[in-house]
Amino acid sequence: MRVLLLTNEYPPNVYGGAGVHIQHLSRELSRLCEVEVLCFGDQLEERSPLVVEGIPLAHPVHPREKSHGAALNALQRNLHMAARTRQPQIVHCHTWYTHFGGILVRETQNVPLVLTTHSLEPSRPWKAEQLGAGGYNLSCWIERTAYQNADGIVAVSQEMSKDVQTAYGVDPSKVRVVHNGVNPDEFRSEADPSVLSRLGIDGSRPYALFVGRITRQKGIRHFLAAAERLDPSAQVVLCAAAPDTPEMAREVEEWVERLRRIRGNVVWIREAVSAHDIPSVYAGAAVFCCPSIYEPFGITNLEAMASRTPVVATRTGGIPEIVVHGETGYLADIEPVSATDPEAREPDVFAQRLADAMNRILTNPDLAARMGEASRRRVEELFSWRAIAAQTLSFYQDTIAGFRH
């Protein structure tokens, strides 16, 4: 089988969970079939059966409304993606940035279109800050059109399966749940002290960890509000980069400075942590926090759990399918904080719930150790990329068999 994967992110240009997903999925799929990846960038790798080609933006458009540039230039790359295909038997798109390209390939090559629901635009109204109102309207239209024309849909969680059916009226028979995954062998149980020292983390003291992009979706403000209430002996480590907007970057700077004035012991790593270093950052943490207000799955939770680190996370989206409350960590209800008003702060009941759960772990090393061991076992048993690639290939085969253009 010849599989074409279309994606915005691909190494070294990875800034979120979708990029991590496509990196591992493409590698494991190439053990089973021929895989071509077309992505945004200038990559070029030709190591059959895996071929990766970046699509540069040679002639970007410069709209009068600057915020619309991201959406319009994505469409331009999609045209080039459709022109560069090599007779695939199926095309599989990741995020709305490549959905238009997938539609073009479906129509020009007469092959089925598969989409993975990493997220859905209607559930992320704050994206209008990044894309502008017009750009956000365009991204929603592209996504809706793609789902209405898709032949198969991979939902990364049961919740996403429900959401895509509700949002776009997708036929349930077209949807299959295939979770995200992790390679447990890439994560360690003990931190390398030299890595922590180089990043400015005191490896001799417990710390609460956040890893994520600077975006409303990831709930970074709620983590920082919770950090104000943590055990004062603990450090707070923030691995937060790739802000959606300059305004968002400035807001986080203000929140971090406020936190430092209140408690100190705050380490903010502003650049994406390398694949070599991030396992030590996870392994050294006493607790990992995922305070997302919207999270279809949440690969960072798996990465922390693979490192034997307990997780405190939001009871939302696909997270409850990963984190077992009271066994591998704790889940915190986001209500009454509104997902449509993610910056609601006073009273921030959600932040207090996060803080209470993290403090239970920070102040009880035996509990943390038990939860860490349970976390690693769960990852090893249920969330390996090799198994996920096999499930994905099986879905391709079923979709091709039922394809009628």
Amino acid of residue 380 = E
Enter the DSSP assignment of 182.
B
What tokens appear for 55 in the block? 């699509």
Looking at residues 167-180, what average pLDDT do you find? 94
Q: Which domain range does residue 62 map to?
A: 2-181+384-401
Pairing label, strands 266-269, 235-241: parallel
Same-domain status, 89 and 190: no
For residue 384, what pLDDT is reported? Answer: 87
**pLDDT mean over 160-183:** 93
pLDDT at 127: 77
| 361 and 283 co-located in one domain | yes
pLDDT in tens, 328-364: 999 999 875 554 555 554 448 999 999 999 999 999 9
Rounded to whole angstroms, the Cα distance separating 266 from 279 reads: 20
Say whether both 390 and 358 belong to one domain.
Answer: no
User: Cis omega (within 30 of 0) on the bond before 336?
Assistant: yes
Check residue 257 and give its pLDDT: 96
Query: pLDDT at position 341, please?
Result: 57
Please determine, for residue 13, whether its predicted confidence score (pLDDT) is greater than 50: yes
pLDDT of res. 345 = 46
Amino acid at the residue 182: V
- Residue 78: pLDDT over 90: yes
- Per-residue pLDDT reduced to its tens digit, 143-163: 999 999 999 999 999 989 999
* Token pair for 195: 């890595």
> Mean of the pLDDT values across residues 252-280?
95
Q: Quick check: 218 pLDDT over 60?
A: yes
The pLDDT of residue 250 is 94
Report which of 397, 266, 371, 227 is spatially closest to residue 309, judged by C-alpha positions.
371
Structure tokens belonging to residue 99: 């959905």
130 pLDDT exceeds 80?
no
Q: Which helix (H) or strand (E) holds 39?
A: strand 34-40
Same domain, 24 and 62: yes
75-86 burial code (b ≥16 CB/10 A, e <16): ebbbeebbeebe
Residue 254 pLDDT = 96
* Residue 356 and residue 284 share a domain: yes
What pLDDT, on the 0 to 100 scale, is given for residue 118? 87
pLDDT of residue 252: 95
Which of 8-17, 244-253, 349-358 is the most confident on average? 349-358
Q: Are residues 263 and 344 in the same domain?
A: yes
Q: Per-residue pLDDT tens for 287-303?
A: 999 999 988 888 899 99
My answer on whether 26 and 169 are in the same domain is yes
Do 151 and 202 belong together in one domain?
no
3-class DSSP state of 388: helix
pLDDT exceeding 70 applies to what percent of the chain? 97
Q: What is the pTM of this model?
A: 0.76
Instruction: Report the mean per-residue pLDDT for the chain.
Output: 92
Same domain, yes or no, for 9 and 126? yes
CATH number of the domain to which 100 belongs = 3.40.50.2000
Strands (E), 295-386: 311-314, 329-332
* 44 and 148 assigned to the same domain: yes
**Which letter does DSSP use for residue 7 in this model?**
E
pLDDT of res. 296: 82
> Do 88 and 150 fall within a single domain?
yes
What confidence score (pLDDT) does residue 15 get?
Answer: 81
**Total domains in the fold of the chain:** 2
**Rounded CA separation 328/349 (Å):** 23
Average pLDDT over residues 44-50: 92
> Do 211 and 343 belong together in one domain?
yes
